[in-house]
Structure 1
């Protein structure tokens, strides 16, 4: 079991370019697993964690409903946004500036073979991070992600999650609103849920801006602890 996780901060990067990178890393792990089984070898499979910030983009999961996107092609262009149908679970969501996006590309056989536990651990890393800012976040029964004031009329989502897994290898991940422009969520029915709103960490703290690098460090600390991982940090890539 290889618990080393190579962390790369991609900075600001186009969604499609990042998706292609994820697919490349994902396929590399799968190919090695298949090779190990066919040739009865035991070459350790790698694990990756990508941090990234995307330009304005809407993505629709494979089980999502296109009707939850409230913009046509012309309106998307006017908003400076793009749209992709992708191969993760979940419905529609938004990525953009001021949002910390994390893509763990892990061979779960290096950690545990339980996709529900995996999602709960990702949620817990965000919940523990918010606790450090004095905020009590939680889960919402039957829904992935991290929420505030669940069970009240003021329930609001602060972190969306959607993953793909094959042969226990994961891709896609979480999107944590830290300094996000919440107006972009008005153009969709987030995650297909009509009766709950979204929020951002800076809004909850009543400040103009939260230090995103500090938030990344806190998330990584809790991720490392939960997964009992050994993080190998790559040099931050130049923005694209």
Structure 2
């Protein structure tokens, strides 16, 4: 079972969304599962369960501060993406390769990051039985939100590495008013090497799911 990994660098949210949709169609036609690793410029995204009151500033004020605002078809509420946050989009045929259960797949992603944080950063992270994602204490460090179409997932995870946590003060992250957010940099006291972190994530996917991996070079059409 092969996983094709594409490093898209820093890319606009809607441009990355268009790539996801094209790859979803191709995975449905037999292309290997795809993992996109990237960072976004500052953007607030609203999932299918998003409540407008969880955005704490008017749209115009946010735009003046450099934020884009985008509605999406992923699960979940309101979240933030921005520089220093490692985003991974999983275009995976879970029906063929992962048993078909979106709930099980989310739990596997949570377990993957719990193991990664422990192995490489000596961080004791946990999952919440009610809310998706990975937490350190009561603060979320990995957000997970997916959509699924014909057994194939889109969207994925966002790991706060060197993220400016002050940007989260513009929203109620994931609709969890009683939970905070944290980052690797905040916990370990220095910035994380993003290239190294991407390699660690790649190794974690091969270990957790039994993939062999390749680096994407073919054009997305």
State the TM-score, normalized to the length of structure 1.
0.87
Preserved contact between residue 34 and residue 92 of structure 2 (Cα < 8 Å)? yes
Indicate the residue corresponding to 1:119 in structure 2.
106
Answer with 1 or 2: which has the greater Rg: 1
Which secondary structure state, in structure 1, belongs to the residue aligned with residue 133 of structure 2? strand
- How much has 1:121 moved relative to structure 2? 1.5
Cα distance in 2 for partners of 1:175, 1:14 equals 15
Preserved contact between residue 129 and residue 215 of structure 1 (Cα < 8 Å)? no
Preserved contact between residue 48 and residue 73 of structure 2 (Cα < 8 Å)? yes
Preserved contact between residue 121 and residue 223 of structure 1 (Cα < 8 Å)? no
Q: Matches of residues 144-155 of structure 1 in structure 2 within 5 Å?
A: 144-149=132-137, 155=138
Indicate the residue corresponding to 2:168 in structure 1.
185
Indicate the residue corresponding to 1:105 in structure 2.
91
Cα distance in 1 for partners of 2:71, 2:111 equals 27
Cα distance in 2 for partners of 1:110, 1:128 equals 21
State the TM-score, normalized to the length of structure 2.
0.94
CA RMSD of aligned residues (A): 1.5
Cα distance in 2 for partners of 1:214, 1:114 equals 31
Q: Matches of residues 1-240 of structure 1 in structure 2 within 5 Å?
A: 3-30=1-28, 32=29, 44-108=30-94, 109-131=96-118, 132-149=120-137, 155-207=138-190, 209-234=191-216
Which secondary structure state, in structure 1, belongs to the residue aligned with residue 177 of structure 2? coil
- How much has 1:73 moved relative to structure 2? 2.1
Q: Which moved more, 1:86-95 or 1:113-122?
A: 113-122
Can you give the 5+ residue segments of structure 2 that lack an aligned partner in the other structure?
none
Question: Which consecutive segments of 4 or more residues in structure 1 shift more than 3 A?
Answer: none
- How much has 1:181 moved relative to structure 2? 0.2
Equivalent residues, number:
217
The CA deviation string for residues 71-110 of structure 1, in whole angstroms up to 9 with x for no partner, is: 2121112210100010000000000000000001011112
